[in-house]
Structure formats: C-alpha cells, structure tokens
A and B are shown apart, each in its own frame.
Chain A
C-alpha cells in the first residue's frame, strides 16, 4: 500500500510536468491552465457533479474489466456489454411505456444486467468452449452491439415525434435512477461505489477470489483440485458484463434520457485503462475514475472558456495514462526481488 501511494504521488507529479510541457507547446501559461483545470473539475458543486456524472460509467466499465482480469482474462468488451445492456433495458422500457410504474426501474436495470451479462458470457463461452481469445472476441462483439443499437434506433425504435433525429422515445421518470442533490448525478454513482466495495469483498477475501487467483496463476493445478476453468470464465465474464450493462442503461435513462447512437463516449476503453492503471484493484479504480471524470469535465470547460481545442482534453487524458503506466511499470521494476 505504501508503495502504491508513493507511485500515485510520483505519477501525479509527472503528469503535472508533462501537462505543463503540453500547455507550453500550445502557447498557454501552464500553471494558470492547470490551476483552472483543478477549479473546473472540482471547484464548485456544479463542477464536482459533472465530474461525478462522467466518472460513474467509467468506474462501472473499469469494474467490468477488473472482474474477468482476476481470472487473467483481458477483456476489452465493456463498451459492447454497455450497449447491449442498454438495448435490452430499453426494450423493457418500450414494452412497458404504456403503463409506467414503480417496477420500471428495477425491471430495466435487471434487463440491462442480463443483457450485458449475456454479452460478456458470449465471449466467455467462445473462450471456454473453443479457446477463442477473449480480447479478440470482446473487441469484435463491441462492434456488433454498437451496430445493433444503431439498427434499432435508426429503425424500429425511432421516435417519430423526434423530427428525424435517430433515438427512441424518452425514458419515463419511473425508469430513471433517482438524482442526487438535484444535480445530474444519479444513484448509479452509489451503485457503482457499492459494486466496487462488493467486488473487493467478493474477490479479495473470499474462496471465489482465491479460486480465480489459482486458475489465473496455474490452471492445471486449479483443475487438479477440482475447479472448472470454463465455469469460472463464464461467471467472471457474466458478472463483468452485467456491471457494464447497468452502466449502459443508467447512461441512457438518467443522463441522455433516450437510447441514441453514441451512447458511450469511449467509456469502455477508458474503463479498460482505469482497470489496468489501478493494477486491477477494485478500490484504486474509484479515485482513478474520479480523476478521469474530472479531467473530462475540465477539458470541456477549457474548451468553452479558455478557447483551447476540444482535442486537448483527449491529449491530456492520453498523457495521464502514459505517465501513470510508466510510473506503475517503474514501481514494479524497482521493487526488491525475492530469491
């Protein structure tokens, strides 16, 4: 833990240095810009709420990657699971739109979890039955899920009242996560934090966590003591997918209000990077997601108020990931050997 903390501090300092260099290159005063970024991301209730809004799907997608990673699986499928979860959740919403009731939120959430879970398990089954590498299958399933959503929102589910804009009918209030403190932040954030804590409890102290560790480290020995690799792959991919599916329906219902193309602003990939930056830790994924959310919010604000190009936020995010991964690798390298 000491070492992780030291690495996080070192990564932050390095990021400040390279971000300063970036601002110098584009001809802006670095310290002023960095100061403004901090204010834009965390300076008042509105900034903080926007940061939390952005952090919520990123954190859920990171969790969707971390669960299969316990088993040594490198899934990049959070985006596809997010889209397919949103698709199934929306189907339930549309089916019940005539008579919305209290049941709508739990029903859409469950449908989204089932959809995301099924999408994850599809890749899991390909892995355990046919040995198809999960990174490839989850990557390709991302495209299929995204295009399926497009198929429906451009086609059968398009809301005619929406003047040709491709999207479904709006979600009724009964299908939305309750908002917190009258901001755009919704209870999905609490759910994500709860899931991070539950994931930690589930996979760090439990028998299941040790089983997954064992199968990751030595599958042969794991199977020798009676564990099934295939069943664990399905479980890990299913649970991870379900979390991403919930992220999808929360984003569609509570934030965007409708299911429409471009539901995910790269949350899956960002979540993947957060998962790897956190060292696949359920707990470290939380602050890192918040940081990424803050960076996104600050980037939007810089674009509006400081007139720097929109792509700057992406550049800064890239610099953050690159420095953090470099520091993480260096920390591992310099840790003492045991012989």
Chain B
C-alpha cells in the first residue's frame, strides 16, 4: 500500500507553512515536488518523515493512518529522507558514517563492510569508504547520504533539492540513479525548483505555492512555461535583460596569488565586467574567493583594486569596504543562525558601531533591506537560521551587495534559489556591473555563466586553466578545461 496524505496542515507561529495538502506516493513513481523557496515543500516532507507532527489532516502509511511519530519511526516504515543540510559526521570515514546508521547491530567485520557499502559501491564506485567525509565534495557527500538512506531499506526516498549542490556531470549521474531506484519499485520524491530536474526524471509533478498545491498531474503534456507560471503565481517572471557591455580599463589586477590550493592566479577584471569562474568544486575556488574577500591571508601574490591593495595581511583587520562577498553555503559561512535578521544584516558595520547602537534604527534599516531584496518572512527580529535556504541567501546578498562595491564576489549565489529569486540575483549582478563594479561570479551552472558572464575563467587543480571570452565560452570548451584538457580538445 502506498503513502496517502489528506488535508495535511502545519502552522509555525503566524506562518501557514503547509495548508491542507493531499498527496499520493506510488511505488515505482518519481514525484517532483515543485515550488519557490518557502512554498512549504520541505515542511510537507518533514511532516511525512516525522520531523514535525501535522496540526490537521492525516498521513496514511501502508494503510496505517497514524503517520510517523519521529524520523526513527519513519525509517522503520520504509521512509527515508536526504536533507539539504547534510547530516554526516565530517570527522568520521564514509564507512563509519554508514555503519552508524546501519539498522542492525553495528559491529564492524569484513563481511559487514561489504554489506554496508554495497549500495554505495553501486551508486558511486569512485568513493573510497575509508576516506573521511570532510575530504569529500558536496556531490560525493550527497551520494553517501543516499546510500545511507537506501541502507535503511527505504522504499520511499525523499530527496530535498538534491541537484542544488551538484556539478553538471554529477547531476546527470543522479538523474540516472533516480530512474533506476524508481525502476526497482521505490517511490521517490524529488523536492526541487529546477525545471531541468522535473523534465529529466519525474513521472508526476505537484506544484506548491504558499503552502497549497496549485497544480498537479502527469509530467507528460505540461510545458516548462506552464509549470513556472504555476510556481511563481500571476506576477510571473520578468524577461531577463541583455548582458551589459564590459568597460575598458582593468579595475582589479590580481598577480601570482597563492593561497592553499590556489596556485599563481593572475587575471584582471575591467570596470563593469562580470568574470565567471567555473570548475569542479575543490579546485581552488574557495581559496580564491576568500583571499580576495580578505577572509584568509594569502601566502604570496598581490591583488589591487583601483591601485590599492585588497588583500588581508593580518588577522583582526577590518574587511575592505570596497569588497562585497557572498560566500558559498551562506548558512555556514555567511550568517550567525541564532542571531536576529537585524543583526545579521548589520554585521559588516558592527565593528565600527558605537558602544550602544540604536537597534531600533538598525531594525528599520533591516526592514527596508528585506523589502528591497524580498527576504521573507519580513520579521527582522526572527533568528536568521529560521529562514529558508533561499531567503537566507537573499539576506546575505542584501548585506553584501546592497551598495555598489568596487569588487563583488558572489559564490554560487543562485544555488538553492527559485526561478524568481535567481532572476533577482542576475538583475542585481547586472546592476552592479552597470554601475562599474568588478563582478567575480563563481558558479557550477555552466549555462548560467555562459549566458551572463563576459568572460569565463576555469580553475583546474588550483591553477587558472584558461580564460575564455564569451564568444568562445561553450559548454564543450569549458568542460574540457574543467577536466584538465585544453579548451579546443575534441
């Protein structure tokens, strides 16, 4: 018997996160749960997985109308969930992580090792179970998470925005995997807001907006436009404006920059230019971004903005006010989750504030920024950690890029954002460039870079493998550089 949700509702404070949703999950079927950030997709699935209890409605699992009382209970009934924020222990090995959640007695033995890593070997033959999770890329971690859920014999697997953190190749691999898992008779729920995910592997699609289901049905016979419109509502998506032209003289000059994995990076960005940085995660992107943002002190090299140094030379130095920095994974690197939205929006000015700041004025300012960057819900006193991933990303962008900096560094700024919010990010980056800022844009979405950057640079094992002007920046050329070949290799 499948899983049936009827009239399920959940309210957090004044927020109706899920509002009377019906949903059936059938074996062998992939259901795409589509919606904007904060539409209630994750909350709905957390209700099914037993993280929260519904306020109203019923969740029937295999004919039992009681629903799952806890994630442990959900696992026992064959429901597994892979979260957006991974739940692995970074200090332990892949094998140890899998062993920890192995449903029967977790004693290690050679035979057990083969058993525990069986799903992992099928999913990702390239991952050595002896490696520490901390050394894995986000894509690899996700595969371990999925292996762990499969180990629990889950017959229904919920994937929360699984492609948000993956490279194009990893995404393709995951699509194949999802189809294969469904073909083995599992019910798969794919929480997403990417049309590509829906088109690639869903059987039925359920579109949510503001806690309600606004559209549902088989994927066949629905166009992407139709789904986007259902997802964002009547206001729709604006048309994307054309790429502004790059200015002339270089404003940012980076020479021989070395920091950690990053080796000898030399490049220039002109005023008003968007330089895209592509590359597989872990090839020096983080070091490049953090060195230019003044988070880490580089080992050698120089970086000059308008002729003066932007690099940090010693700890405790104030951040360069000319640099706006949107870090990768803002939940970990960009905010203090327990502190209020107001405080998080004021962080850059904190060190320069007077001893007893006027928090009421800060709150008004925060509210204005939230209006301007559409951060929801508009509750500046709420802890930043309570915001959804997309709204958290908007918060960091509002803090770092609300004024026009000399250099804007954006690391995966659209990761986890829905169509409308992604569009808003593009608009913001364009506006910054139009006003003469240098924009350094890291992305794993090649199409995004090809469409929006003036030039695309590729990092490969810590070095700039090449910088392609837009007319030569094709998927093929970038892909070649990303895998260590020359741009024009066949």
Contacts and interface: CB of A to CB of B under 8 A. Distances in A.
A172 B46 CA distance: 69
A164 interface: no
26 contacts: A205-B359, A207-B350, A207-B355, A207-B356, A211-B351, A213-B343, A214-B336, A214-B339, A214-B350, A217-B339, A218-B332, A218-B336, A218-B337, A221-B333, A221-B347, A224-B293, A224-B294, A224-B319, A225-B319, A225-B350, A226-B351, A227-B351, A231-B316, A338-B12, A339-B12, A339-B42
A210 interface: yes
Contacts of B42: 339
Nearest to A217: B336
Contacts of B338: 213, 217
Contacts of A230: 316
B17 A221 contact: no
Given A218-B335, A223-B315, 18 more contacts: A205-B359, A206-B356, A206-B357, A207-B357, A208-B355, A211-B351, A213-B339, A214-B343, A220-B333, A224-B295, A225-B319, A226-B318, A227-B316, A227-B350, A230-B316, A338-B12, A338-B382, A338-B383
Interface in B15-33: 17
Given A338-B13, A339-B17, A339-B52, A211 B336 contact: no
A231 B293 CA distance: 22
A337 interface: yes
B339 A338 contact: no
B43 interface: yes
Contacts of A210: 339, 343, 350, 357
A221 B337 CA distance: 11
Contact of B316 (A207, A228, A336): A228
A217 B357 contact: no
A206 B325 CA distance: 26
A337 B351 contact: no
* CB-based closest 5 A-B pairs: A228-B316, A217-B336, A226-B318, A218-B336, A338-B386
B354 A207 contact: yes
Interface string B344-375: 00011011011111010000000000000000
Given A207-B353, A210-B350, A339 B343 contact: no
A331 B334 CA distance: 30
B17 A225 contact: no
A221 B386 contact: no
Nearest to B331: A218
Given A206-B356, A338-B12, A214 B337 contact: no
Contacts, number: 87
Most chain A CB inside 10 Å of its own CB: which residue of B46, B347, B382, B386:
B347
B317 interface: yes
Interface string A104-143: 0000000000000000000000000000000000000000
A217 B295 CA distance: 17
Interface residues of B, number: 39
Nearest to B396: A221
A226 B355 CA distance: 16
Contacts of B357: 206-207, 210
A227 to B, nearest CB: 6
B415 to A, nearest CB: 18
Interface of B: 12-13, 17, 42-43, 46, 52, 293-295, 315-319, 325, 327, 332-339, 343, 347-348, 350-351, 353-357, 359, 382-383, 386
A208 B354 CA distance: 9
Most chain A CB inside 10 Å of its own CB: which residue of B319, B336, B348, B382:
B336
Given A217-B337, A221-B336, A339 B316 contact: no
Given A207-B356, A214-B343, A338-B383, A226 B316 contact: yes
B72 to A, nearest CB: 16
A224 B320 CA distance: 10
Given A208-B355, A339-B43, A221 B335 contact: yes
A207 B357 CA distance: 6
A339 B347 contact: no
B347 A225 contact: yes
Contacts of B52: 337, 339
Contacts of B343: 210, 213-214
A211 B350 contact: yes
Contacts of B294: 224
B459 to A, nearest CB: 22
A119 to B, nearest CB: 25
B326 to A, nearest CB: 12
Contact of A225 (B43, B351, B386): B351
A231 B357 CA distance: 21
Most chain B CB inside 10 Å of its own CB: which residue of A211, A213, A214, A230:
A214
A214 B340 CA distance: 10
A339 B45 CA distance: 12
Contacts of A221: 333-336, 347
A205 B12 CA distance: 28
A206 B337 CA distance: 19
Most chain B CB inside 10 Å of its own CB: which residue of A205, A207, A211, A227:
A207
A216 B336 CA distance: 9
Contacts of B347: 214, 221, 225
Nearest to B46: A339
A208 B350 CA distance: 9
Contact of A213 (B43, B316, B334, B336): B336
Interface in A180-216: 205-208, 210-211, 213-214
Nearest to B17: A339
Contacts of A222: 336
A205 B355 CA distance: 9
